[in-house]
Structure formats: structure tokens, C-alpha cells
Amino acid sequence: MSHFNDFNNAQVAKLPNHLKQFIVNQNYGKYTPIDQAVWRYVMRQNYSYLKDVAYYPYIKGLQRAGLSIEYIPDLQTMNDNLGKIGWGAVTVDGFIPPAAFMEYQAYRVLVIAADIRQINHIEYTPAPDIIHESAGHAPIIADTDYNNYLSYFGAIGAKAMFSAKDFELYEAIRKLSILKEAVDADEDQIAKAEKSLRYISENMGEPSEMALLGRLHWWTVEYGLIGTLENPKIYGAGLLSSIGESASCMTKEVEKLWYNIDTINYQYDITKTQPQLFVTETFQNLKDVLEQFADTMAFRRGGMESIMKAIACKNVATAIYSSGLQVTGVFTDIGVGLADEVTFIKTTGASALAYQGKQLADHGKTYHADGFSSPVGRLQDANKPLEDYSDDEIKQLTGIGDNIQLIFESGIKVEGQLMNILRGDGKILLITFTNCTVTERNQNVLFKPEWGNYDMAVGAQIVSVFNGAADKDAFEEITLISEEKARQVVYEEKTLQLHQLYKRVREIRESSENLGELAAIFDQLKRNYRQDWLCAMEILEIIFHKKIYHQLEKEIHVYLEIKAGKESDHRKLINDGLHVIKNPVSQLIVE
């Protein structure tokens, strides 16, 4: 993947390898004429309704993001436009891990699922798709206050601590969404996956930082309202891209509450419509609430409770000593003093040391393959933290012979021959000993000379703990996943012929020529494609607006109304489509 395509966009070009690995080719040619018609149907519906309830000028927002109502957007056009406001966009394959999603936002890059919903999921799709991501998130990106909130949220979210349950939940959601969107989905498998997801989500225990942030994200970025409680406007992408819920959410049945820090107490269920929504007066308030929450997080608090969060997470996390040294690994143990201060930390398995986000030379996970452990704290009777000692002051801490002896306030004793002192910006980060013994106050041995050299981390406290590795590209050894993940769908002959009919209707609409063919196309639909409703609707739209073929117009109208009466799952779609034809949104093309 050396030919990484950055679309000539500065933000996309800045992405690190561990984020690039999720990117797939958009593969624009895979969108069929039906896919294009689905996009156009949903976008016309959205516009018809949203022009009155969306917070921002929807069409101007679409144009500034490089989107149109007529065609599924292509990534190059989006990047050309988003680049002007300091953002970019990439396509990925369905759900990606939440921490990666957050980090993309921090880099000011929109993540767009490359697929588009099938026509039978036109109102709502369980999997992320290009309609949700681009028609929902992109149009509001041009608002500076909002896009600052989004990238700030990303920066904070990328550091949030997970619980081990969060990882299970993510895997279960991803599995279910893939099953549901599969063309040949097996109902038994889906039922089983749904049951497993329900079980996990009902037994989550205490919500983690990421779970709580997930709620703030849900009630703002996805389902947020702005303005007043009596007359709010929609800015949340989940509402904006769901034809159904953007209308129902404005009714009195859905309670409207002010958005503040208490909103984190409201859980959400992605499978149901929301019982209440939260209104913010300004986008600045979103940043203020986020800031309030960030002050409670491990990356700002450090200390014992933060290491405990890392241990509970059972996945890679990073702890930062007050010297600036960063220790990355799976945390498994902690020593705690009488005043709840951290006296000792331990990781198990591959670990690494870094400083300011860059891995230290020779301290990667192959060198620290079996974990890392080190004391935390000040030396006994010391008038300053160990990280502030000069080299001479260290050498005066004599032990027996040419050994150096360090006795910490916690009673941990480190004795051995000094080999090396590593500093960063003047502070001591790491002291390396040979022939070294480390014991606790109760004589429990933590390190023996025969185990090799002892690298002792230096710092009076743990000031920060965050999710993931300090130097992700070094720690994760990214092997970039191939771009060719697009599942090639093979269509049968009959479906390909239907695609041709859709394509022909579009050509006739755009050129206003060969209008006489429409009757024959409708005839084929009626004979061979009784399940289809959207192509007939598009023919009706053309002849209604051109005020021609009144007999054919009546016939298609009756055909669709009978369909709406008989097929309950198409009823609303057909009625909404007819409404937009009669109440045209023609001005949206020229605006």
C-alpha cells in the first residue's frame, strides 16, 4: 500500500499508519443505478423535510462538503471541498474500533462507510453507510464552532479508558451489523447474534470512560438539538440521516431536556427511537460540558484510580510518570501506600517505554517482551523528587562497594551497579542497573540479579493514564491491510436489466429527451419487477413535472397507491415519495 492515496488533502496526508490501516478504496464503480436512486430518494426526502427543522442551511452545507442531492459523493470531490475548511474524508469498511474513530476526528478527518444501504433498508440501516456519514455528518462540518467541538471530542475520546466489556460489545455490534447487511443472511445466525449482543449490553457493569463519552457523543453528534426547548433545531447526524426519526423527534411525545453534564446518566439503545433528546443553546456549551467530563478522566487525574481503570481494561494502556516517561503495556498489578498513593506499577507481556509519544531506542516490546515493573514515588528523607537529581547526587546514594542504594518512602529498596541515566528535557526518566536486587518492605523480592539488567522508571507520581500505546505506530507494528476489501457482488441477469431501466430513467430525466420511452419502461416494471416501487416513482416524477402523458401519470399513480395499500413496509416510503413529487424541491438544485 505504498501508493497511499491522500486525495491531495493535507489532513488525510497527516494520518499515522495505525489509522491508515482501516482505509479502503471507495471503488465508485460498484454503486449501481439503484444505489444512485436510493441516494437521490433519501436526499430529496431529507431536504424536503429538513429545510424547516435543520439548524444549518442544509443545502449550503452539502455544497461546502462537496455533496449533491443527485449523486452519491465521490471521495476526491469531498476532499477538494472539505480541504478548504481544514478537514478531509476517507472511506472505511463498516464499523471501526471506537478509539480509532475518535482519533480520526482529532485529525479532522471524516470517516465514511463506503457501502450504501440496500433499498429494503432505505429508511434506517443498522450498519454505518455513506448516506449516514456524508449526508448526516458532512453538511454541518463547515460550522467552525461545531467542527472544533468534533475534533476536540476526538482528541479526548482517543485517550478514554475502556473496560474489557466495551471490547466485547464492539465486536458483537460489528458482527450483527455485518450479518444484517449480508445479502444471504441466515435468520438463525442473526437471532443468535442479537441474543448475544443483548446479553453483553445488559451486563456491562460500571460504565467506563469510553461508555460515558459514548453517551455524550450520542446525545450531541448523533442526536443533538440546538436552540430552545420549545423550538429546537436538529444538528445530530443520526436524526438528519434517518427519514423517519427526523420527523417523529419533533413531536411532544419526545421529551426535550437541556444538555449538561448530567446527560451522561442517560443510556441509549441504538435499536429504538429515542424517548428524550437534549438541547444545547450553543455549540460552545458542548465544549464546556466535554471539558467538565475530561477533568474526571484518567488521562488528567492519574494516580491510583487511573491505574485501576487500566487494570480493569485488560488491554494496552499507557501510564505517564511525573518525569514524562511513558510506560505502555497491559497493566496487571499496582502497589498502594497508606495515603492511597501509587508505590509500584507492573505490566505483563509485551511492553514499551516512550517519551513525548516517541518510543525510546532499545525499549520496544521485543526488549520488554515479558512485561515491565517499577517503583513510583520519592526517596526516603529526600528534599526533592528523584527525577530532579543531578548525576552527582545520584552517585552519592551509596550502597555497599560501588553499588548504589535507593530506598523509597514506600520501603521498596533498589540496590545495584549504576550503568546508565537517561534524561528527557533535564529530568531523569530511567536509571539502568546491573547486578540489581529490588525488594519490598516485607522482604518480598521483585527483581533478582540473574534476571539481567534492571531498568527503573523514575517519577514521584503517575500523572496520567490513557487508552492505547504512547507510540502507536511503533507499538502496533502496523501491517497495512490491503485496500481491496470491497465485496464484489455478482448480480443475476434479471437484476442487471432492472439496473439498466433505472439508468435509462435517469438519462431521460437529465436530458429531457426520449420521453416517449417512459411508457415502455413502466410496462416492463409492471410485468417483470412487481417488487420494485422506486423506479416507477421516478417516472411519475418526470411526467408530473413536465405536465405530459396524463393518462400514464394517472396509471402510475394508481399503481403506486395500490402498492402502498397492500405492502405495509413500502407504505410510508411511497407516500413520502409522492409528497415530495407534489411539493417539489426544485429550488434545491439552483440554490
Grid cell digits, residue 89: 474524508
Q: How many CA atoms lie within 13 A of 206 on its CB side?
A: 8
Please provide residue 583's backbone torsions phi and psi, each rounded to the nearest 5 degrees.
Answer: -120, 75
Q: What does the block give as the cell for 575?
A: 407516500
Known binding-site positions for Fe cation:
132, 137, 222
- Phi (first) and psi of residue 227, to 5 degrees: 125, -125
The span from the CA of 295 to the CA of 80, in Å, is: 37
Q: Which helix (H) or strand (E) holds 457?
A: strand 454-457
Set of cell numbers at residue 523: 410496462
Q: Which residue has the cell 516485607?
A: 442
Concatenating the DSSP letter of every residue in 82-129 gives: HGGGT-EEEEESS---HHHHHHHHHTTEEEEES----GGGSS--SS--
Cβ neighbours for 370, distance < 8 A, ≥ 6 positions apart:
348, 349
Residue 533: φ, ψ to 5°: -125, -25
- Identify whether the C-beta of residue 317 lies closer than 8 Å to the C-beta of residue 465: yes
- For residue 325, the surrounding DSSP H or E stretch is strand 325-336
Dihedral sign, Cα of residue 531, residue 537, residue 542, residue 546: positive
d(CA 126, CA 94): 10
Of 297, 341, 317, 584, whose CA–CA distance to 475 is shortest? 317
What is the C-alpha separation between 524 and 530, in angstroms, rounded? 9
Torsion 490-117-497-569 (CA) sign: positive
d(CA 541, CA 578): 8
Residue 542 exposure: Cα atoms within 13 Å on the Cβ side: 26
Provide the Cα torsion 41, 42, 48, 54; round to 10°: -160
Nearest CA to 318 out of 151, 476, 101, 153 is that of 476
The packing angle between helices 98-106 and 209-217, to 10°, is: 60
DSSP 8-state code for residue 471? S
Distance between CA atoms of 404 and 283, rounded to whole angstroms? 57
CA distance 454 to 572: 70
Continuous segment of H or E residues that includes residue 349: strand 342-355
Residue type, 146: Y
Exposure of 408 by Cβ count < 10 A (0-12 exposed, 13-18 middle, 19+ buried)? Answer: buried
